[in-house]
């Protein structure tokens, strides 16, 4: 799963790739962890174009009923298999509050045989941004004003040639749902009953991992595994 990533910072690149205008006064950090502010893409309520919009939101979904802001430290990822029933996520899932989270890369821990963890970064082999399937919500904040927030949806990665090599050996292997560009519109318009069918594993051959920061060694998956629904 992902608790740390680098959002798309170049506003022109963000707008071009995700087809949504970026607020001119919007700013966000180069790296984001839980409870940090980052851009996400969703459909506007208005029918007039452009239909998509970029909005700034907290990484870590705050359900409308939550009063403790630290909830977001535990809700940055949502298990797609149970998101429609878990209290933190079910309202966003059932209401169809879908979004896409733009990311240049994800940061994940890899453990060696001694149990020591090193940070690696995961990105697309073609250099394009990742569009990660997510849920968004308007949650309560300390001053009582609703704050947009989001969670990344995840699937099991036990059989994924690349993602199964990350996180602690004893932990279940999970990965975020990275959408192909051709599925962006489909995801944003997806009815709630069809959302589960879009929870797929991105092909390992289309992802590259390398130590971060600055290590020269690279690991590029060579599997040609296709996406499969979970």
The domains of the chain, with CATH numbers, are 4-22+29-220 (3.90.1680.10)
- Alpha-carbon distance of 222 to 51, in angstroms, equals 37
Per residue in 121-130, pLDDT (tens digit) is 999 999 999 9
- Alpha-carbon distance of 199 to 67, in angstroms, equals 30
User: What's the predicted TM-score (pTM) here?
Assistant: 0.90
Low-confidence ranges of the chain (pLDDT < 50): 214-230
Per residue in 79-90, pLDDT (tens digit) is 999 999 999 999
């Amino acid at each position: 799963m992902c608790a740390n990533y680098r959002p798309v910072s170049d506003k022109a690149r963000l707008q071009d790739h995700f087809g949504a205008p970026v607020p001119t006064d919007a700013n966000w950090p180069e790296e984001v962890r839980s409870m940090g502010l980052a851009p996400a893409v969703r459909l506007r309520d208005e029918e007039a174009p452009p239909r998509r919009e970029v909005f700034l939101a907290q990484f870590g979904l705050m359900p409308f009923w939550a009063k403790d802001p630290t909830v977001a430290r535990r809700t940055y990822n949502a298990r797609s298999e149970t998101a429609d029933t878990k209290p933190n996520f079910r309202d966003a899932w059932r209401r169809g509050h879908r979004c896409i989270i733009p990311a240049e890369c994800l940061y994940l821990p890899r453990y060696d045989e001694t149990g020591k963890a090193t940070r690696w970064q995961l990105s697309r082999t073609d250099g394009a941004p990742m569009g990660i399937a997510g849920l968004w919500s308007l949650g309560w904040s300390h001053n009582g004003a609703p704050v947009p927030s989001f969670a990344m949806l995840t699937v099991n990665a036990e059989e994924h040639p690349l993602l199964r090599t990350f996180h602690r050996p004893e932990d279940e292997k999970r990965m975020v749902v990275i959408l192909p560009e051709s599925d962006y519109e489909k995801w944003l318009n997806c009815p709630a009953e069809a959302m589960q069918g879009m929870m797929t594993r991105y092909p390992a051959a289309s992802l590259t991992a390398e130590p971060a920061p600055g290590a020269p060694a690279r690991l590029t998956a060579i599997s040609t595994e296709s996406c499969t629904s979970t």
